[in-house]
Amino acid sequence: MVVMVTGGSGLVGQGVKANIDREANAAETWIFLTSKDGDLRDKEQTRAIFEKHKPTHVIHLAARVGGLFSNMKYRVEFWRENVAINDNVLHLSHEYAAARRSRCKRHGAKKQFLATAAAAALAERPPREPPQAVQAGAAF
Protein backbone atom coordinates (compact mmCIF):
# COMPACT_ATOMS: atom_id res chain seq x y z
CA MET A 1 0.00 0.00 0.00
CA VAL A 2 1.37 3.40 -1.00
CA VAL A 3 -0.23 6.33 0.80
CA MET A 4 0.49 9.76 -0.64
CA VAL A 5 -0.24 12.75 1.59
CA THR A 6 -0.42 16.17 -0.05
CA GLY A 7 0.31 19.09 2.24
CA GLY A 8 2.83 17.02 4.15
CA SER A 9 4.58 20.06 5.63
CA GLY A 10 1.38 21.69 6.92
CA LEU A 11 -0.12 21.55 10.40
CA VAL A 12 -2.34 18.53 9.79
CA GLY A 13 0.19 16.81 7.49
CA GLN A 14 2.86 17.00 10.19
CA GLY A 15 0.37 15.60 12.72
CA VAL A 16 -0.37 12.66 10.43
CA LYS A 17 3.37 12.12 9.88
CA ALA A 18 4.10 12.14 13.62
CA ASN A 19 1.40 9.53 14.15
CA ILE A 20 2.66 7.34 11.29
CA ASP A 21 6.24 7.61 12.57
CA ARG A 22 5.07 6.25 15.95
CA GLU A 23 3.07 3.41 14.42
CA ALA A 24 5.22 2.32 11.46
CA ASN A 25 3.93 -0.61 9.41
CA ALA A 26 6.34 -2.36 7.03
CA ALA A 27 3.50 -3.12 4.58
CA GLU A 28 2.84 0.58 4.07
CA THR A 29 4.83 3.24 2.26
CA TRP A 30 3.92 6.80 3.23
CA ILE A 31 4.91 9.72 1.03
CA PHE A 32 4.50 13.22 2.48
CA LEU A 33 4.55 15.75 -0.35
CA THR A 34 5.55 19.37 0.04
CA SER A 35 5.49 22.21 -2.47
CA LYS A 36 9.07 21.27 -3.37
CA ASP A 37 7.76 18.06 -4.95
CA GLY A 38 5.76 19.96 -7.56
CA ASP A 39 3.05 22.54 -8.10
CA LEU A 40 -0.33 20.88 -7.56
CA ARG A 41 -2.00 23.79 -9.35
CA ASP A 42 -0.40 22.53 -12.56
CA LYS A 43 -2.06 19.40 -13.93
CA GLU A 44 1.07 18.06 -15.68
CA GLN A 45 3.24 18.49 -12.57
CA THR A 46 0.53 16.78 -10.54
CA ARG A 47 0.38 13.97 -13.10
CA ALA A 48 4.18 13.55 -12.86
CA ILE A 49 3.88 13.20 -9.08
CA PHE A 50 1.21 10.51 -9.43
CA GLU A 51 3.25 8.74 -12.11
CA LYS A 52 6.36 8.79 -9.91
CA HIS A 53 4.73 7.51 -6.70
CA LYS A 54 1.77 5.49 -8.03
CA PRO A 55 -0.27 5.86 -4.83
CA THR A 56 -2.93 3.36 -3.87
CA HIS A 57 -4.34 5.84 -1.33
CA VAL A 58 -4.35 9.63 -1.27
CA ILE A 59 -4.89 11.93 1.70
CA HIS A 60 -5.30 15.39 0.27
CA LEU A 61 -4.36 18.13 2.73
CA ALA A 62 -2.62 20.63 0.44
CA ALA A 63 -4.00 24.14 0.05
CA ARG A 64 -2.84 27.63 -0.76
CA VAL A 65 -3.06 29.49 2.53
CA GLY A 66 -1.65 32.66 3.96
CA GLY A 67 -1.77 34.72 7.07
CA LEU A 68 -4.89 36.50 8.22
CA PHE A 69 -4.34 39.59 6.08
CA SER A 70 -3.32 37.64 2.95
CA ASN A 71 -6.44 35.51 3.29
CA MET A 72 -8.60 38.64 3.40
CA LYS A 73 -6.77 40.49 0.63
CA TYR A 74 -6.43 37.63 -1.88
CA ARG A 75 -9.69 35.70 -1.37
CA VAL A 76 -10.38 35.19 -5.08
CA GLU A 77 -6.80 34.18 -5.88
CA PHE A 78 -6.70 31.69 -3.00
CA TRP A 79 -10.08 30.28 -4.00
CA ARG A 80 -9.04 29.82 -7.64
CA GLU A 81 -5.73 28.20 -6.73
CA ASN A 82 -7.36 25.86 -4.21
CA VAL A 83 -10.04 24.81 -6.70
CA ALA A 84 -7.25 24.02 -9.22
CA ILE A 85 -5.30 22.04 -6.60
CA ASN A 86 -8.38 20.08 -5.54
CA ASP A 87 -9.46 19.43 -9.12
CA ASN A 88 -6.03 18.14 -10.14
CA VAL A 89 -5.47 15.92 -7.11
CA LEU A 90 -8.97 14.45 -7.04
CA HIS A 91 -9.14 13.95 -10.82
CA LEU A 92 -5.75 12.21 -10.93
CA SER A 93 -6.60 10.12 -7.86
CA HIS A 94 -9.57 8.85 -9.82
CA GLU A 95 -7.58 8.47 -13.04
CA TYR A 96 -4.81 6.53 -11.32
CA ALA A 97 -7.43 4.48 -9.49
CA ALA A 98 -6.20 5.21 -6.00
CA ALA A 99 -8.31 2.92 -3.81
CA ARG A 100 -9.11 5.58 -1.24
CA ARG A 101 -9.22 9.35 -1.51
CA SER A 102 -9.69 11.73 1.35
CA ARG A 103 -9.43 15.47 1.24
CA CYS A 104 -9.11 18.10 3.87
CA LYS A 105 -11.62 20.88 3.65
CA ARG A 106 -10.75 23.92 5.71
CA HIS A 107 -14.23 24.34 7.17
CA GLY A 108 -17.43 22.44 7.48
CA ALA A 109 -18.11 18.91 6.37
CA LYS A 110 -18.46 16.12 8.86
CA LYS A 111 -15.55 13.67 9.22
CA GLN A 112 -13.00 15.95 7.59
CA PHE A 113 -9.95 17.53 9.13
CA LEU A 114 -10.37 21.09 10.26
CA ALA A 115 -6.89 22.56 10.02
CA THR A 116 -8.05 26.12 10.62
CA ALA A 117 -10.00 25.06 13.69
CA ALA A 118 -6.95 23.16 14.93
CA ALA A 119 -4.77 26.25 14.50
CA ALA A 120 -7.34 28.45 16.23
CA ALA A 121 -7.57 26.01 19.13
CA LEU A 122 -3.81 26.23 19.61
CA ALA A 123 -3.77 30.02 19.46
CA GLU A 124 -3.62 32.01 22.67
CA ARG A 125 -6.15 34.50 21.32
CA PRO A 126 -8.16 33.40 18.28
CA PRO A 127 -9.39 36.22 16.01
CA ARG A 128 -12.78 37.72 16.81
CA GLU A 129 -14.18 36.86 13.39
CA PRO A 130 -14.98 33.19 12.73
CA PRO A 131 -12.34 31.45 10.59
CA GLN A 132 -14.74 30.96 7.68
CA ALA A 133 -15.17 34.74 7.32
CA VAL A 134 -11.46 35.58 7.14
CA GLN A 135 -10.25 32.46 5.36
CA ALA A 136 -12.95 32.00 2.75
CA GLY A 137 -10.41 31.77 -0.08
CA ALA A 138 -8.62 28.86 1.61
CA ALA A 139 -11.88 27.05 2.34
CA PHE A 140 -12.02 25.17 -0.93
- For the chain, the structural domain boundaries read 2-138
pTM over cut 0.75: no
**pLDDT score, position 97:** 72
pLDDT, mean of each 10-residue run, the chain (140 residues) = 94 93 89 96 97 93 88 91 95 78 44 41 50 54
The third-level CATH classification (topology) of the domain covering 2-138 is: Rossmann fold (3.40.50)
User: At a CB cut-off of 8 Å and minimum separation 6, what does 6 contact?
Assistant: 13, 33, 40, 58, 59, 60, 61, 62, 85, 89
